[in-house]
Amino acid sequence: MPTTRIGGRPIDVNDEGFLTVYEQWDEDLAPILAGYAGIDELTEDHWKVIRFLRADYPARKETATLRRVSTVGGFDMKELFRLFPGKPAKKMSYIAGLPKPKGCV
Amino acid sequence: MTDILDNPIIPDFGDKPAPKADAAAPVPGPAAAPAPAPVAAAGPRKIVFIASKGNLDMAYPALIMANAALGEGVETHIFFTFWGFDLITERTMDDLKFTMLGNTAMHLPMAPKVPIPQLLGALPGVTFATTKFMRKQLDDLEIPSVREMLDIIVASGGHLWGCKLSFDMNGLAEDDLYDGVEGVISASDFIELSEGAQVIFV
């Protein structure tokens, strides 16, 4: 597993670039990751999703799928596609410093 | 202790090649090796599913893959034809059934080696029971119902189309269809629609 330098500090990632250590992420890192994912500015709406993902992960040890973010987190699906255009599930998990979701739905 | 890479590894988010020239310092390391040219398709990826089956079990392949495709930023259409029309017909979509008849791969999850005679599937009540059992399995895995899958697909920007011939054969009116269906289209319309797309028949 490679280690890269993001935001001036070493960060462990997998071969695809997703962060592998939950604790290495903090809120200062998110805007930098968002920039890499093509999102120039994190609004409060982005943050709500990111905080949900961060809070949901530890108990399940699995990143919430889009559907889970929508049903459990209470976010509107269209809104999620607007906030994280293109590949929303990958972008939001990357910015939240989590692995990409494994679930099919 | 491994070396620390100075440039981040950025996952493939499928977006256009990074517009920001400032971050585009040449990427060092083995990743820069000439990659094989991506598969022929020019332009953004597009997938069309043809959903032709109306059994509960055969409803899901197109729905789940379509949902996944949308999550990957792929333009996605589903064309419902023949028995697949039951997936978008209000009267039937919440009541699809699963039969073990004609399915030689049928086995019980808790006893995979116990043979199940085909004729068993023909007994009254067996389709009811197998359907109920499959629904429970789907629920346990938190797989949404057909209607909810369609809701998600539409909300995610997917397009649903009905087949004109099936529509006419079933003697349906527009009001009989699930709301998210954008239109009832002919075979020629479908051929136009699927231009440049990967077409998957289910």
Q: Is residue A91 part of a domain?
A: yes
Q: Which secondary structure element, helix H or strand E, spans residue B191, and what is its range?
A: helix B187-193
A 10 A CB-CB count for B94 gives 9
B145: nearest Cα among B85, B60, B69: B60
Sheet holding B4-5, edge to edge: A9-12, A3-6, B4-5
pLDDT at B26: 46
**pLDDT bucket at A79, cuts 50 / 70 / 90:** very high
Q: At residue A28, does pLDDT exceed 90?
A: yes
Does residue A13 form part of some domain?
A: yes
User: How many residue pairs bridge chain A and chain B with CB atoms within 8 Å of each other?
Assistant: 80
Q: Say if residues A80 and A70 touch (Cβ distance below 8 Å).
A: yes
CB–CB contact B11 A94 (8 Å): yes
Nearest by CB to residue B143, choosing from A2, A66, A105, is A105
Q: Are strands A3-6 and A9-12 parallel, antiparallel or unpaired?
A: antiparallel
Nearest CA in chain A to B19: A38
Handedness of CA A36, A38, A40, A46 (dihedral sign): negative
Average confidence (pLDDT) over B150-157: 96
Can you tell me the distance from the alpha carbon of B109 to that of A92, in angstroms, rounded to the nearest whole number? 35
* pLDDT reading at A62 higher than 60: yes
ipTM: 0.88
Contacts of A66 in chain B (CB under 8 A): 71, 156
A62: left (phi over 0), alpha (psi -120 to 50) or beta: beta
Best to test chain B binding among A33, A40, A75, A105 (most B CBs inside 10 Å): A105
Q: d(Cα A89, Cα A40) in Å, to the nearest integer?
A: 17
Task: Provide the pLDDT confidence category of residue B2 given band limits of 50, 70 and 90.
Answer: low
Best CA proximity match to A67, nearest among A46, A88, A50, A83? A88
Mean pLDDT across the stretch A81-97? 95
Hey, what amino acid is at B17? P
Residue with tokens 């604790």: A23
Residue B19 pLDDT > 70: no
pLDDT tens per residue across span B104-145? 888 877 888 888 888 888 889 999 999 999 999 999 988 999
- ∠ CA B163-B166-B169, nearest 5°, is 150
Return the pLDDT at B25: 44
B155 with A78: CB under 8 angstroms?
yes
- The amino acid occupying position B113 is K
Residue A101 maps to a domain:
no
B69-117 tens-digit pLDDT:
999 999 999 999 999 999 999 999 999 999 988 888 888 778 888 888 8
State the Cα angle at B187 between B184 and B191, rounded to 5°.
110
A102 assigned to some structural domain: no
Residues whose CB is less than 8 angstroms from the CB of residue B55 and which lie 6 or more positions away in sequence, other chains included: B83, B96, B97, B98, B99
Catalytic residue list of A: 104
Contacts of A70 in chain B (CB under 8 A): 152
pLDDT in tens, B158-176: 999 999 999 999 999 999 9
pTM of the full predicted structure?
0.84
Nearest to A65 by CA among B122, B25, B72: B72
Query: How large is the average pLDDT for residues B22-38?
Result: 48
Is A15's CB within 8 Å of B6's CB? no
Number of domains in chain A: 1
> Residue with structure tokens 């596609």?
A81
- Positive or negative, the CA dihedral A41, A46, A52, A53 is negative
Structural domain harbouring A72: 3-95
The span from the CA of B34 to the CA of B117, in Å, is: 56
Average pLDDT rounded to a whole number, residues B37-53 = 77
Which of B8, B67, B73 is facing A36, going by the closest CB pair? Answer: B8
Contacts of B152 (CB under 8 A, 6+ apart): A67, A70, A77, B67, B144
At residue A1, the pLDDT reads 82
